[in-house]
Structure 1
Amino acid sequence: MERSPIRALRLALATARRLSTASSLVPAPDKAHVAVKDSRPLYRRLSALGGAKGGSVARALNKWVREGKTVTSPELIKYVKDLRKYRQYHNAIEVVDWMVNTKGMNLSITNHAIYLDLVSKVKGIESAELYFSSLPVAFKKQQTYGALLNCYCNEKMAEKVIPLYETMKKLDLVSNNLVQNNMMAFYMKLGQPEKVQKQFKEMKSENIAPDNFSYCVLMNSYASQGDIDSVDEVVQEMEEASDITLTWSAYSTLAGIYNVAGLFEKAEAALKKLEQLIDSQRSTGNLAEVNRVWKSLKTTFPKLTNMSYLIMLQALTKLDDLDSIERCFKEWESVHVAYDVRLMNLMIGAYLKKDMVKEAESLQAEASNRVEQFDFKTAELFIDYHLKKQEMGSALKWVKEASSQVKQDKWKLNGDHVKLFLKNYKEAKDVKGAEEFCGILKQFNRLDSRAYDSLIRTYDAAGEKEPSLCQRVKADQIVLSSKAKKLLNNISKT
């Protein structure tokens, strides 16, 4: 039976939106979207630092204080969470360091857990272990133990996860579904679904209430073994439970499982419930527009591949729903096997569309450590953005970065970008910028009559002379228009 566009969309959405098998015991970053025009001037200053290191944050905070302004510990911790959300880990950790070392502020147990997480991201697992060891006994509680456990789980360090969890059990620090979820997700990462089921039973026996995530991981564990009957039993248990409300994540996970199993009618039923939930919770979903994007798809994707997430992100990009794009991208980051720069570029493009340049740069900087080769599409996104904003210095910086990575004829500067560069330099009467750009064009063997024509007109507009220009035109064997020749003669006269 041929699938309708709506059905194809639903099935693809289910596949792309299935819950990842990763969890976090560290207190979650604030979910609220941080707009570019943030109402918090200090946060804007900190965020604007981007990937700057070496005391930049401390200088910004000290300057703020010298201006006679105040800042409280809760405010700073909120900024730390926001910086962490946008992967500005170095800046976030420097804020905490300033709080403690310069202002003498005390950290709560939860804040120590956040700091431990940042240490692991910035300095590595060993440093996180040292930090945990240095904490007074009074601060070695469920939050900080859980943060360290999360670090181990993320790195799949079974040799450390299991002993630490056993220690936490002896200290009665595992009576939290975040800890249990982390362990279940850890076993799924290791491909040990039977241990997920054992963990869930242990959780129930200890009267620890499972949440939607717990059930979703459990469903995935049965699905990975081809046991759909047990999946159905989990769903029934959830629907009959009085202490849990099914969310969209549960139904999207279920729909994805049914889709992989080829049970399309069941997948359809689950997705109808998913749609009802989404419609009741938000009004921003434009199903007609999403359908338009997805009409070109001929098949759906039965597994959570990079391509599944790519298609989902493309659809959400069409909807211009940044919060949903971020959620989908972060979910992919937590489950991907191979890093796919196409997904990163979609996320960068979404940030740039909202003028969130620092967030885009931070993502690119972090991803550069994960990919083996420089991606020229990434550079083109930044070049395009800065050109449209007429930020020529920033645009040229990315051209230089790309040109430094070129091997043989692997990349050529986009023709439209060349036109914009030349046009902007001419309108700004920026001879120095135009000359520098033409030098790069020559490196790419793109210094043609059009480029020289624009360079000559830029000199003419700026009223500057350059005697060597005539000889350079001859040396490069450039054929100019009659008007350009006249302008060149005037410019070349001393």
Structure 2
Amino acid sequence: MVQARRSWARPPDIYTYSILIDCCHRARRPDLGPAFFGRLLKTGITADAVTFSSLFKCLGDMKRPEEALDMLLHRMPDDLPNVICYSVILKSFCDNGRSHHALDLLRMMANKGANHSPNVFSYNTVIDGFLKEGEMSKALDVFHEMIQQGVVPDVVTYNCIIDGHCKARAMDKAEGVLRQMVDNGVRPDAVTYNCLIHGYSISGQSEEVIRLSEEMRTQGIIHDNFTCNSVLDYLCKLGRIKEAAELFCSMAKKGHKPDVFSYAILLNAYATEGSLADMADLFERMVGDRVVPSLYVYNILIGAYAKYGKMDVAMLFFEEMLNQGMNPDEVMYLAMIAAFCRMGRMDDAMDKFSEMIDTGVPHGANVYHCMIQGYFTYGDLVKAKELTTEMKNKGIRHRPRKGNLL
């Protein structure tokens, strides 16, 4: 019976193999892709462009784009490669930080013409690759080549170039690209405005941040969480906490439920200005909204309570964080140790210092300086000297601050 069933089974066709090889890429088992492709060749079935594209994705995942390119140039029939096959390899080179190789291939495509001609996605891939490698001038060169080749930039193209200028804080150039974009009939989207808002934010131009936020609204472009968080962050940096809190409260009403970043921004603002009651209320709301606190959030809470000497509360949050399965970092330990040292609780400070070392948390000059200064201030010169020697033996350089007698 089993033998009969096997004889009735239909042998795999090209469609089946294409799916199998693509699944290897999607399931993050790219090493199986070439194996299935080898079995396909043994059956005598002719591979099509879709199957080759799936194989190229697997080779790209395995960081072997040269092998994919060699196969495209020498093992595929001349009439088979299409722009999708090329674009997969372009992306592989760019993903592996080799956008210069992708540019060579892009120009080869342009020279061949016909079905090999690069499209807007091909150019966008290479432009984005250069931007990720920090080569803005190369990205602009590809952008200009694209236009010269008669390929019309789309919103993704313009967003890439605008984002590159914004990250370089070249806001005049970013605005120039925005004007070019509009003049060419390409409508800006939320990503466009988010790039500009972030760029003006890091450049310290608050009025532009607010202007663009309002412009988005008048253009009918819906704010997303990134937009709201960018404006929220900038209002907090300006000390306009009340406005930030109003924006935060309005987010949910407008369909943007505050995320962990939204909460962290406002929590940090309250912590910075010493509004511990507001900070505690906001954290309770965060828990009520079922937004899971991050390590950064716990750093804010513990650091704030430690700063104001409320170590019992700080330690409660520390224990809660541990129960959540998170591991404290150097910033958190330093905040707790510094607070204990200021309060003269040197035994507690030493307990945390030892715990920090025993758990393998990186520790440098700052935490040693804190412990040494604490022992020195409270008259335990022996302990201060021991830690100074220990620090030197570990090769940690200690540069005394002005007014430090150590």
Please, what TM-score do these two structures have when normalized by structure 2? 0.51
Are 1:128 and 2:174 an aligned pair? yes
**2:188 maps to what in 1?**
140
**2:200 maps to what in 1?**
152
Q: Which amino acid aligns with 1:173?
A: I
Match of 1:116 among 143, 162, 167: 162
C-alpha spacing 1:206/1:65, structure 2 compared with 1 (3 Å): closer
C-alpha spacing 1:197/1:38, structure 2 compared with 1 (3 Å): same
Distance 1:170 1:142 in 2: 13
Distance 2:120 2:359 in 1: 43
The question of whether the paired residues in 1 share the 8 Å contact of 2:166 and 2:200 is answered with no
Are 1:245 and 2:271 an aligned pair? no
Match of 2:273 among 225, 240, 261: 225
Q: Which has the larger radius of gyration?
A: 2
The question of whether the paired residues in 2 share the 8 Å contact of 1:222 and 1:231 is answered with yes
Distance 1:262 1:171 in 2: 49
Task: Kindly state the Cα deviation for residue 219 of structure 1 after the two structures are TM-superposed.
Answer: 0.7
C-alpha spacing 1:264/1:67, structure 2 compared with 1 (3 Å): farther
- Look up the SS of the partner of 1:294 in the other structure: coil
**2:135 maps to what in 1?**
88
The question of whether the paired residues in 1 share the 8 Å contact of 2:124 and 2:156 is answered with no
- Look up the SS of the partner of 1:149 in the other structure: helix
The question of whether the paired residues in 1 share the 8 Å contact of 2:245 and 2:266 is answered with yes
Task: Kindly state the Cα deviation for residue 231 of structure 1 after the two structures are TM-superposed.
Answer: 0.5
Distance 1:100 1:276 in 2: 56
Task: Kindly state the Cα deviation for residue 259 of structure 1 after the two structures are TM-superposed.
Answer: 3.2
- Look up the SS of the partner of 1:133 in the other structure: helix
Q: Which amino acid aligns with 2:277?
A: D
Are 1:262 and 2:309 an aligned pair? yes
Distance 2:302 2:156 in 1: 36
Q: Which amino acid aligns with 2:368?
A: K
C-alpha spacing 1:60/1:91, structure 2 compared with 1 (3 Å): farther
| Paired residues, number | 255
Are 1:210 and 2:258 an aligned pair? yes
Percent identity over the alignment is: 18
Distance 1:49 1:172 in 2: 36
Distance 1:237 1:211 in 2: 12
Task: Kindly state the Cα deviation for residue 177 of structure 1 after the two structures are TM-superposed.
Answer: 1.6
Distance 1:146 1:255 in 2: 31
What whole-Å deviation, never above 9, does each CA across 1:13-42 have from its counterpart, x for those lacking one?
Answer: xxxxxxxxxxxxxxxxxxxxxx9x944455
The question of whether the paired residues in 1 share the 8 Å contact of 2:190 and 2:221 is answered with yes
**2:368 maps to what in 1?**
298
Q: Which amino acid aligns with 2:233?
A: A
Task: Kindly state the Cα deviation for residue 208 of structure 1 after the two structures are TM-superposed.
Answer: 2.3
**1:175 maps to what in 2?**
223
Are 1:162 and 2:210 an aligned pair? yes
- Look up the SS of the partner of 1:132 in the other structure: helix
Task: Kindly state the Cα deviation for residue 214 of structure 1 after the two structures are TM-superposed.
Answer: 0.7
What whole-Å deviation, never above 9, does each CA across 1:207-259 have from its counterpart, x for those lacking one?
Answer: 421111111111112122211011111111111114x3333332233233333
Distance 1:232 1:289 in 2: 31
Distance 1:292 1:249 in 2: 16
Are 1:62 and 2:107 an aligned pair? yes
The question of whether the paired residues in 2 share the 8 Å contact of 1:89 and 1:121 is answered with no
Q: Which amino acid aligns with 2:209?
A: V
The question of whether the paired residues in 2 share the 8 Å contact of 1:149 and 1:161 is answered with yes
The question of whether the paired residues in 2 share the 8 Å contact of 1:146 and 1:179 is answered with yes
The question of whether the paired residues in 1 share the 8 Å contact of 2:305 and 2:311 is answered with yes
Task: Kindly state the Cα deviation for residue 132 of structure 1 after the two structures are TM-superposed.
Answer: 0.9
Please, what TM-score do these two structures have when normalized by structure 1? 0.43
Q: Which amino acid aligns with 1:169?
A: R
The structure with higher relative contact order (CA 8 Å, sep 6+) is 1
The question of whether the paired residues in 2 share the 8 Å contact of 1:93 and 1:115 is answered with yes
- Look up the SS of the partner of 2:293 in the other structure: coil
Distance 2:370 2:244 in 1: 28
C-alpha spacing 1:67/1:134, structure 2 compared with 1 (3 Å): closer
Q: Which amino acid aligns with 2:164?
A: L
Task: Kindly state the Cα deviation for residue 279 of structure 1 after the two structures are TM-superposed.
Answer: 5.3
